[in-house]
Structure 1
Amino acid sequence: MEEPVSHPASSHPPKLPPVYLLVFLQAVVSAASLVVEIVAGRMLAPYVGMSLYTWTSIIAVVLAGFSAGHWVGGRLAERPSSTGLMATGLGLVGAALTTAAAVFLLRWSAEPIITALTAPIASITVLSMIVFFLPSFFAGIPAPVLARIAVDADRAKAGRALGAMFAAGALGAIAGTLLAGFVFISYLGSIGTLAAVTVTYALCAALLLGLARRKTPVIVPAAIVLVAALAIAGSGLAAENPCKRESNYFCIRVVDISPEVKTPVRLMVLDHLAHGVSARDYPEVMFTLHASMLELIGRTRMEDRPFSAFFIGGGTYSIPRSWGPKPQIDVTVAEIDPAVTEMAEKYFWFDPSVARIFHEDARRALASRPDKYDVVIGDAFTDITVPQHLVTKEFFELVRSRLTDDGVYLMNVIDHADRLQALEAITATLRSVFPEVEIWVQNTGQPLEGRQVFILAAGNSRSKTSRLEGLDPEPYEAGRLTQDTVRRLTTSEHALILTDDYAPIDRLMALQE
């Protein structure tokens, strides 16, 4: 009779966490990491704006962080399960700490980085890397480790376990994206959302460290770091938010620039762009050159007769505030962000009863209603980007179909005088739709240099004058460029016809810097 073979205790594999728990952890970590990616765009906006370049940099940096984290996680997955769980828990400790610190790191680094790197694309990329690479790196570590343990935990159904882990990662990413965009940022704001992610990472880290079932000297320091991360997240919530109002679209700030207390004057900043200025006691003064020229040219074209006007964007509602109370002017505004309208009413003395307001995209507002207007004013241009769908041939054709026979479309363009590539493309596109296109600019008596504000006027006829005098609030003279100059611009090699299929306005604007 044979004696039974005895196995040493060490030959028994350690008890592994159930697959469903690993799937749950993977989904939560994936969701949290995608929340951070979405919040990154909102956090960077007050410093560098929201553009194609912002999102391109954020996505590239986050994916780079995930890739590096996955590589490290793959190395950890080769180790015993308890070691892998311990290391993964420590990785999420790092994720919690770097996520909590992102708010302060961005505030401390933004100004010196933007000052040192004058090119917008460079500053956007570097800021994204400094603030969001490490949170993504640490969040990328768990996936390979948890997948390996899931396979080991149920070898009879290894394929199903692996598939479940991949599916959990994808579903978590979807859930995180939806929750960030539709729930968290809207109700918690970007800082509150990052605090919630920090707490989530901390809980997952604590669970993984517990699952490791190992008492090591790193547990106490890890616990201290987690407490520090939560404290930093809490201090972020207590710190002053740079946004007066954080909406679904913008970080909205209100800056008092009053020259004297008795005459309040305020500036609205959307993300990082000074969008408009209004004075309580002087609604007829625009305070910015582009708004003043838009108002002046539009009013002059109408020759003091009754007219209707449609505004693409509201902002401070400076021109609607000036025109709206006049009985001979019918004002309609398409402002996509209801919060902007609320701020204009609360802080910029705008009375919403003097205008018809649609809180939707301007192109949709025009396309869905057959109303015709005498003046359509577009003020959507920023420093390095502009909504592409508002500068295409198809959009200009829509605008023309909504203008009366003697109506005019006005829009501002900001471009660099020694390049003018954006101006050339937009002018050429307008000329492909309208019989007459004019370019107006402030007449200083000096050659154009640096960044310039141009006003484009398009319609069936020319303005009756080529010189106008206005206030912004200082007196200035606006002049119309000659038709020969306009023709030269629109026959330039850079005079692209922008279409819904191809409108590289971001590239043309980025070349300004």
Structure 2
Amino acid sequence: MTPIPLWLLVALQVTVSAASLVVEIVAGRMLAPYVGMSLYTWTSVIAVVLAGFSAGHWWGGRLAERPSDRALTATGYALAAAGLTTATASLALRASAPWLTQIPDPVGAITALTLTAFFLPSLFAGIPAPVLTQVALTSGRTQGRALGAMFAAGALGAIAGTLLAGFLFISWLGTAWTLAAVTAAYILCAAICLHLGRRLTPLAVTTLAALAVATAVMAARPGPCTVESRYFCLQSVDLSADPAHPTRAMVIDHLVHGIAAKDAPEVMFTDHAAMLDALARLRAPRDDFSSFHIGGGTYALPRAFAARGLSRITVAEIDPEVTALAARDFWFDTSTATVRHDDARRALAADPSRYDIIVGDAFTDTAVPQHLVTSEFFALVRDRLTPGGTYLMNVIDYADSMAAVGSLAATLRDHFPNVEIWTEARRPEPGERVVMVIAAGFAKTPVDSFTALAPQRTTFAALGPAFVDSLAARGTRLTDNYAPIDRLVGARD
């Protein structure tokens, strides 16, 4: 067999390694509409992809024992399989999600979905490395340099794939076309390997071309996202009973983050929004209070405040596409608020202003930004409040644990003399997922309960002080160095 130039083997390894890392980065985004984006999601993705690579490397090592032409032919077929399984990963997710997301354990559901969609692409992508390295070592060149070049090629490809996925492909192409680009790279590498193995027959060319066309067709199909931004999969869902009076929900990744009605800006459609709205007005030190909002979503709360004549409204929303969708589909007037497209903690630290009300809407099931629930962040919030101001934040926890809300209460008590926990005025069922709002400030709320539209008339009440004391006593103080909030939300007594 004619010696193969080292540069060609290096180029193949760089390309395959880059493509496989692009798939790994894209996997997290593709899972988000089904199970959200959290520590559990990324842990599952990394573990499954590494398991696939490991199995592929083992298989590739077995293939590398064959004569070079046969080993390269088998590698070509493996790369074609990598292209096929990559191209159909989104179909595998859509087909399996209705069943796998019903697994009671959220970690189990995330792992099962990840295995279904991304184990096979990683397995087939792991096969070429041992084969290409063996060919490089047996082509009559210095083995040490060849081995170093192939290892370096794998690392350089991984770096390139990570950067391309994170900074270019996802934001400019979206996940579907990114997978199409990866599939095209695999098909090209498969054709080169088959050519080197002297098996690039007309049938093989036709098959690879058909795979490329099918991939383009699948990439052109509408995905689950109305808008796919750099941060989220955003969906605008029409809930209108009467088209003349539209009502819409915004779904960010896999959860409804807000509902708004065109003709009823002051009506909240979720429990947590109704509590945030009512408590802000009950606890504000003045009628024309100022507010800072962590997270925009549908901008329902800023829109309600503006409808009541409030003008000093600031919103920190990290994703400009969320704001654009809120303005387009959820009737948010951008002139009624100051919007800062930045991380909320950084935006608040850079803003010397003081606010009467600061609203934190950071909880999204098991995905919680850890840097927004720590003692250091709460100290910043306290410094940005007026003397009679209040910090309000929504919390999601489970009735048979309350470990997360207890930890938040314990941490907030280090900075605020009064910490209250509000929820719907009824006894939750065992194991029920409970939506709450914590009010932290310098004085008590003037009432123990109130009724608000959510959108049905609902009564909310503060938990008893003794019960809050018991929750805080069992809580974990959260800091920038240690904030296991994801685990605490899913904890069970």
Scaled to the shorter chain, the TM-score interval is over 0.9
Shift of residue 235 of structure 1? 2.5
SS state of the match for residue 411, structure 2? helix
**AA aligned opposite 1:42:** R
State yes or no: 1:476 paired with 2:458: yes
Counterparts of residues 374-413 of structure 1 (less than 5 Å)? 374-413=356-395
1:143 to 129, 133, 147: 129
Q: Read off the aligned partner of 1:78 and give its amino acid letter.
A: E
Q: Give 1:172's match in structure 2, choosing from 152, 157, 179.
A: 157
Structure 1 counterpart of 2:74, from 73, 84, 87? 87
- 1:243 correspondence with 2:229: no
- Structure 1: 5+ residue stretches without partners: 1-13
Tell me the SS of whatever aligns to 1:266. Answer: strand
Deviation at 1:229, TM superposition (A): 2.5
Computing the radius of gyration over CA atoms, which structure comes out larger, 1 or 2? 1
Q: Distance in 1 between matches of 2:367 and 2:199?
A: 53
What secondary structure does 1:84 align onto? helix
Structure 2 contact 284–388 (Cα < 8 Å) conserved: no
Distance 2:198 2:365 in 1: 55
- Matched residues in 1 for 2:348 and 2:27: separation? 32
2:377, 2:12 → 1: CA distance? Answer: 47
* Distance of 1:447 and 1:126 partners within structure 2: 30
| CA distance in 2: counterparts of 1:380 and 1:214, whole angstroms | 55
Structure 2 residue 46 is the aligned partner of structure 1 residue 28: no
Give matches, 1:85-164, under 5 Å: 85-115=72-102, 117-155=103-141, 157-164=142-149
Alignment correspondent of 1:286: 268
Q: What percentage of aligned pairs have identical amino acids?
A: 56
> Structure 2 vs 1, CA of residues 56 and 130 (structure 1 numbering), >3 Å: closer, same or farther?
same
User: Which amino acid in structure 2 is aligned with residue 39 of structure 1?
Assistant: V
> Is the 8 Å Cα contact of residues 101 and 229 (structure 1) preserved in structure 2?
no
CA distance in 2, matches of 1:328, 1:20: 65
Does the 8 A contact of 1:284 with 1:322 survive in 2?
A: yes
Give the Cα–Cα distance (whole angstroms) in 2 for the partners of residues 221 and 40 of structure 1: 32
- Cα contact 2:78–2:124 (8 A) shared by 1: yes
Return closer, same or farther for 1:258/1:364 CA change in 2, 3 Å cut-off.
same
Deviations 1:169-227 (Å, cap 9, x if unpaired)? 10111000110111111111100000111111001100110011247xxx566445424
Between the aligned partners of 1:447 and 1:232, the Cα distance in structure 2 is: 50
Counterpart in the other structure of 1:486: 468
3-state SS of 1:324 partner: helix
Structure 1 CA distance for aligned equivalents of residues 149 and 177 of structure 2: 31
Q: CA deviation at 1:480?
A: 1.3
**Which SS does the other structure have where 1:477 is aligned?**
strand
Within the alignment, does 1:506 sit opposite 2:486 as a pair? yes
- Matched AA of 1:186: S
Give the superposed CA RMSD: 1.5
CA distance in 2, matches of 1:370, 1:190: 39
User: Counterpart in 2 of 1:253?
Assistant: 235
What is aligned with 1:7?
Answer: none
Instruction: Return closer, same or farther for 1:147/1:340 CA change in 2, 3 Å cut-off.
Output: same
> Alignment partner of 2:332: what SS?
coil
Which of 213, 216, 221 pairs up with 1:231?
213
Q: What is the TM-score with the length of structure 1 in the denominator? A: 0.93
Give the Cα–Cα distance (whole angstroms) in 1 for the partners of residues 204 and 362 of structure 2: 49
Q: Among residues 183, 206, 214, which one is paired with 2:191 in the alignment?
A: 206
Given that 1:29 and 1:201 are in contact with CA atoms closer than 8 Å, whether structure 2 keeps it comes out as yes
| Inter-partner Cα distance in structure 1 for 2:203 and 2:35 | 37
Q: 1:267-286 maps to which residues of 2 (within 5 A)?
A: 267-286=249-268
2:24 aligned residue (22, 33, 37): 37
Structure 1 distance, partners of 2:328, 2:243, is 18
CA distance in structure 2 between the aligned counterparts of 1:447 and 1:153, rounded to whole angstroms: 70
Cα deviation, residue 105, structure 1: 1.1
- Higher deviation after alignment, 234-243 or 270-279: 234-243
Cα distance change on mapping 1:328 and 1:238 into 2, 3 Å: closer
Matched residue SS, 2:101:
helix
Instruction: Return 79-88 or 322-331, whichever deviates more.
Output: 322-331
The CA distance in 2 between the partners of 1:476 and 1:122, in whole Å, is: 35
Contact in 2 for aligned 1:332/1:355 (Cα 8 Å): yes
Q: What secondary structure sits across from 1:286 in the alignment?
A: coil
Paired AA for residue 125 in structure 2: A
Q: CA deviation at 1:158?
A: 1.6
With normalisation by structure 2, the TM-score equals: 0.97
Secondary structure of the 1:491 match is: helix
CA–CA distance in structure 1, aligned partners of residues 429 and 402 of structure 2: 11
The one-letter code of the counterpart of 1:140 is: G
Gaps (5+ residues) in structure 2?
none
2:296 corresponds to: 314
Displacement after TM superposition at 1:252 (Å): 0.1
Mapped partners of 2:230, 2:447: distance in 1 = 43
Offset from partner CA, 1:100-159 (integer Å, 9 cap, x none): 1111111111111112x121110110111111011001110111111111122243x221
Deviation at 1:327, TM superposition (A): 4.3
Instruction: Give the 3-state SS of the residue equivalent to 1:310 in structure 2.
Output: strand
Deviation at 1:442, TM superposition (A): 1.3
Query: Is the Cα–Cα contact under 8 Å of residues 399 and 428 in structure 2 kept in the other structure?
Result: no
Q: Which of 55, 61, 82 is 1:68 aligned to? A: 55
Match of 1:51 in 2: 38
Cα distance between partner residues in 2 of 1:401 and 1:225:
65
Q: Aligned with 1:307: secondary structure? A: coil
Q: Is the 8 A contact 2:316 2:344 kept in 1?
A: yes
**Secondary structure of the structure 2 residue equivalent to 1:275:** strand
Task: Tell me the equivalent position of 2:336.
Answer: 354
**Residues 93 and 225 in structure 1, CA contact (< 8 A), matched pair in contact too:** no
Paired residues in the alignment total: 492
Shift of 1:329: 3.9
**Distance of 1:111 and 1:159 partners within structure 2:** 51
Runs of 4+ in 1 over 6 A off after TM superposition: none
CA distance in 1, matches of 2:465, 2:252: 35
SS at match of 2:248: strand
Q: How far apart in 2 are the matches of 1:131 and 1:499?
A: 36
